[in-house]
A and B are shown apart, each in its own frame.
Chain A
């Protein structure tokens, strides 16, 4: 009887939500510090070429894509918990849960696409 339910807990999804929340949190510790420190320099200029210049480095582009994925995954999981805890109107709850997924995936993809464009731009134009 216990076999199927073991290690799944009340939410029937085992440790995955809890674990991924922590995993993305740990990843975000160094990544977010690096991002804020970079912003202090890069976002100073009104010129978007400053951003392209920053992302011309493969290391910067790679770290920013990593941050985007960890950030939106973490945001998706966190928002989900808040909705599950506080929103009890059924249609609203499911609308928010579905919207949360769509928003986080779309926003993450938009950010990654923009990073790729900015990264490629500097390669094509040889900045």
Chain B
């Protein structure tokens, strides 16, 4: 009889850990930011060629759904940015011990929250 190939890792029975959760979040936020580049294109293109569209885009981004999208992208950006710095640090061959990986992981979470909160405090304070 032919045995099925072993499957690993069994994601569905793994206890989520800070390391694995941040790893997949890096990819998810990367994809979200990839989608967000469409807004960058729309923003610059409308500013250059369609002033009326620019104003409509601006108005939508100030509405609640628009703001929530921007909040999501802000958090995604700061996460990907902070965790990206963590990756660049690893690329120098440092920070690989388990306590260090856990500590830098939580630092990424805290930094993301602080930077997102600070940015939106600036945004809403300027209204």
Contact = CB atoms under 8 A, between A and B. Distances in A.
Interface residues of B, number: 33
Interface of B: 27, 30-31, 33-34, 37-38, 40-41, 43-49, 51, 54-55, 58-59, 61, 77, 81, 84-85, 87-88, 91, 119, 122-123, 126
A48 B40 CA distance: 14
Q: Is chain B's interface secondary structure helix, strand, loop, or mixed overall? A: helix
B73 to A, nearest CB: 10
A71 B43 contact: no
A75 B77 contact: no
B41 A111 contact: yes
Contact of A114 (B33, B47, B61, B123): B47
A10 interface: no
Contact of A40 (B30, B44, B119): B119
A48 B46 contact: yes
The 5 closest A-B pairs by CB, nearest first: A114-B48, A114-B44, A48-B47, A117-B48, A51-B47
B37 A40 contact: no
A28 B55 CA distance: 28
A107 B41 contact: yes
B77 A22 contact: no
Contact of B49 (A32, A78, A117): A117
A52 B47 contact: yes
B115 to A, nearest CB: 9
A74 to B, nearest CB: 9
B37 A48 contact: no
